[in-house]
Structure 1
Amino acid sequence: MTFVVGLTGGIGSGKSTVADLFVARGARLVDTDAIAHALTAAGGAAMPALRAAFGDDIATADGALDRARMRARVFADPAERSRLEAILHPLIRAESRRQVDAGDAPYVVLAVPLLIESGDWSQRCDRVLVVDCPPEVQRARVMARSGLAADEVDRIIAAQATRAQRLAAADDVIDNTGGLQALNERVDALHRHYLGLASARPA
């Protein structure tokens, strides 16, 4: 059985940076966001079901999911969000399971932005690692990288688990309010910890 570290955190917390640092140390990354993008790209496996459920106007001219249009729909209507998740989540779970079990690495980092919010993800992980920073830092980072207005970012943050809920579910926490040196030191320590846990697991 592969040793799995579930990586999560709120939008703008720095999950991708942390994931890259673990990969640089030899971990293998399974990224559910990347899986979702592949499923909803032109020709992606989810697109026929999405077009059937939501109509052809949720697709771009080349046949990929129009993310801005879909995001507006699901944030305006929880029922639409549920319909979207009912289509995407089983496909994402199946593909992530396949990727976790494929290949060879000391351990796998399973990056799931909504790990706390969505179903049984945490039960599939040996450890839950939360990348943490204050909401005002999240907001500033997301606005800087995406151009979204503050109220749009706040709506996204409000739709996710609270900071307290994520921290309560965490086995390990990385505070990502400092600089890259502090981040590297924390990742180094956790990498050694995970290597030890993975090697101690019975084959």
Structure 2
Amino acid sequence: MTQPLRIGIDIDGVLASGFATKAAEILSKPEGWLPDQWNFGMKWDDLGKLLDQIFATENLWLNSPCWEENCKALVSFLVHHDDVELFYITARRACAGNMSLQRQTRHWLINRSLYWDNCTLIVAGEKTSKKGLIEQLGIRMFLDDHLKQVLEIRAASACEVFLLDQPYNRPRPSSIPVVRNVAEYLEEVEKWLRLTKQSPQS
């Protein structure tokens, strides 16, 4: 029996917008604002203070808004595909509140119909190597919005990694595959599945 294709997707900045939404609120920015630099263009001390304020938010991850378009595309994909195994791999910091980081994240996915029998959630530490996890799990395709993570994952030769276009990951090397939304990433997954089905069985 052929093993299902293993794919992966990041959560923050791809499906969830709670971190950016809270940062915009604290910095008095308009709704929908996103920074044009990963570190908000701040010095480390100022960035640290901002992060402390963000993570002082009670149940930040549980109550995070979502990127509607991206979540809808993924739900539609999951409805029609039990021939893939989907791994959510996210590097998050604990926040204030009475629920664990893992539980908040799982409930967030369940509440948006994004957690199916063929889905696995991995909440990694902030310094955990996603590349290492991807290699261990045999993930063949992955989507992330963090340019540094994408560059590291590209060193895992068995995984095709895509960067979700956001203001804070520009400019970037022209060699990196970029998608504008989750639907475009899933189109690449669909292409892989079609090619696999057309290939002679070994």
Q: Would the TM-score normalized by the shorter structure come out above 0.5?
A: no
TM-score scaled by length of structure 2: 0.35
Higher helix share: 1
* Higher RCO (CA < 8 A, seq sep 6+): 1
TM-score scaled by length of structure 1: 0.35
